[in-house]
Amino acid sequence: MMSIAQQLASTIEKYQPVILEEWLQDLKARMVRVDPEAESTMRGQCSQFLRVLAQGAAAGQLVDIEGREWEETRLFLAELSQQRARQGSTPSETATFVFSIKQPLFARLRVEFAADPETLAAATWQVSTLLDALGLFTVEVYQKSRDQIIIRQQQELLELSTPVVKLWQNVLALPLIGTLDSNRTQVVMESLLQRIVETSAAIAIIDITGVPTVDTLVAQHLLKTVAAARLMGADCIISGIRPQIAQTIVHLGVNLEDVMTKATLADAFLVALERTGSTITQARD
């Protein structure tokens, strides 16, 4: 006598075309816009899921989706969830792909077990539990994929928000805008040191005009960046010291005596030119 798992596999294989069409109709009804390409892709995904679902069930157990029997099913759903995360689908839309197969599948199970209500009840419960577990698996993979995407986007934004500009021969400028935290400090330091190596710069101007507040932590981050640049052979000038920031630094007791500071980027640039032996003259009319 076949187990419920094996009977599920047999039912899927027997009614595969009918289950597929009813499932597709339900999925298309949930979509805002259906085009031929999207429908073709969805049909292929549904067909593949029915195949791996029947293959896993044929192995004989519906309880543990972490088992070897369900490895191919997990791989398929993981790839599907990652793809939908990249496309901007919601977690519920992703899980619905699995949950929506219940209605057409249970309809076929009722036909197969019409003469055995007890077995039908047991089969319905086991298959429903299996599909719930697979649906939750897609949500977990989706969430991990979204987290990775968000982290990558944050990293890209950090890199874009810390441009190192070559102002003059041997002179670099690093304009900072926004809050300076530990993660951003690391990106700032890496970007600045990399550019110092590439350009052999002797002076690096760190402009904090766009930094809204300077507290002890921000000041310590600045000092670490200055120290790292000096180890690479470049001296640093901090510009953008507004009156309120100067007062805050004094009240905090932060020691910036070893660091050249200027009120504006222009003032810092003039000092940098002087230190590198360059001068600017105004052309006569």
The span from the CA of 236 to the CA of 245, in Å, is 18
What pLDDT, on a 0 to 100 scale, did the predictor assign at position 276? 85
Amino acid at 219: A
- Going from N- to C-terminal start, the domains of the chain cover 4-155, 165-275
Cα 172 from chain centre = 31
Judged on CB neighbours under 10 Å (0-12, 13-18, 19+), 3 is: middle
Q: What is the pLDDT of residue 285?
A: 61
CA pair distance 206, 188, nearest whole angstrom: 10
Amino acid at 215: D
Ranges of the chain whose pLDDT falls below 50:
none
Contact 229, 192 (CB under 8 A): yes
Give the per-residue pLDDT at 249: 77
Residue 7's nearest CA partner among 133, 131, 123, 125 is 123
pLDDT of residue 184: 73
pTM value is 0.61
Query: Residues 155, 161, 162, 164: is their CA dihedral positive or negative?
Result: positive
Report the DSSP pairing between strands 235-239 and 260-262: parallel
| CATH class of the region 4-155 | mainly alpha
- pLDDT for 53 equals 94
- Which 3 state secondary structure label does DSSP give 209? strand
- 135 CB contacts (<8 Å, ≥6 apart)? 95, 98, 99
Q: How far is CA 118 from CA 1, 76, 109, 155, 179, in A?
A: 15, 33, 12, 56, 64
For 113, which DSSP code?
Answer: T
Just give the CATH number of 165-275: 3.30.750.24
**Pair 165, 198: CB distance under 8 Å:** no
Task: State residue 32's pLDDT score.
Answer: 62
